[in-house]
Amino acid sequence: MHIDILTLFPEFFVGPLGQSILKRAQTQGIVTIDCLNLRDFALDRHRVTDDRPFGGGPGMVLKIEPLVRAIGWVRERRPQVRVILLSPQGRLFTQGMAQELARLENLLLICGHYEGVDERLQYFIDAEISLGDFILTGGEIPALAIVDAVTRLLPGALGDENSAAEDSFKDNLLKGPQYTRPREFAGYTVPEVLLSGDHQRIARWRRQEALRRTWERRPDLLVRANLTPEDLAFLATLAAATPDPGEFA
């Protein structure tokens, strides 16, 4: 997979992209990532990329010409590229969206900045994505988050092919509790079932704990979860014992 990031601050990505899984995935050729400087696509002498908004108002707006010129430059080299603007007005980024993007061969992430971008950019992109209902200085942090979420889903990126499959939000559930050595710490012990060696019993316990944690912390996810009759029966026991946090079936 190849990912282009269009930004006013390409140096922002130098440290994070050179660490941990992102570094290893690039070294192994699983993903290639290029940070493009938006100023390189401004043709005037001062490489201006922003201007005051028509109609007045505070702040500056990213100009349409360098943005579209950069998109054209990428599309000329990678015709099948998916172009996404990072914007607080976009669709909320989810694990399902990360899985969808991970199936692409080419992706271009555009980092918004200042008060936003010229509205006409909508005619030159494929989608807008938001990291959440809050405002950041620019799209660099959301772009980095998306690159990380997508890269770890690519085959071979984590080494263990089962790791990503068992993450939180698999089947729209949070991941259940995890334990490691020592078996006892400060009076708190590892659940006995995890030491039993009974893999079927352990799998059932983990599924139920994932359901319990989602019920307690993110009941909204249960509306979209892939639930079996056994799952529904277990949730019914939770509902009988605790206040109903919301619909789950």
Decide if 88 is catalytic: yes
- Asked if 177 contacts 209 with a C-beta cutoff of 8 angstroms, the reply is yes
Q: Using the 8-state DSSP alphabet, how is residue 184 labeled?
A: E
Number of CB atoms found within 10 A of residue 225's CB: 18
Diameter of the chain by CA atoms? 71
pLDDT, one tens digit per residue, over 184-216 is: 999 999 999 999 999 999 999 999 999 999 999
Decide if 220 is catalytic: no
Contacts of 41 (CB under 8 A, 6+ apart): 66, 67, 69, 70, 73
Decide if 128 is catalytic: no
> Domain coordinates of the chain in residue numbers?
2-151, 170-241
Place of tokens 């976009």: 90
Q: Could you confirm whether domain 2-151 is CATH 3.40.1280.10? A: yes
Distance in angstroms between the alpha carbons of the first and the last residue of the chain = 37
pLDDT bracket for residue 162 (50, 70, 90): low
Q: Annotated catalytic residue: which of 53, 88, 219, 245? A: 88
pLDDT, one tens digit per residue, over 56-109 is: 999 999 999 999 999 999 999 999 999 999 999 999 999 999 999 999 999 999
Whether the pTM exceeds 0.85: the reply is: yes
48, 52, 158 from 55: Cα distances, Å: 20, 9, 50
Q: What CATH number should be reported for the domain whose range is 170-241?
A: 1.10.1270.20
Q: Do 170-241 and 2-151 have the same topology in CATH?
A: no
Q: Annotated catalytic residue: which of 4, 140, 152, 212? A: 152
Q: Annotated catalytic residue: which of 40, 65, 148, 167? A: 167
Q: Annotated catalytic residue: which of 40, 115, 118, 171? A: 115
Decide if 34 is catalytic: no
Closest among 130, 124, 146 to 5, alpha carbons compared: 146
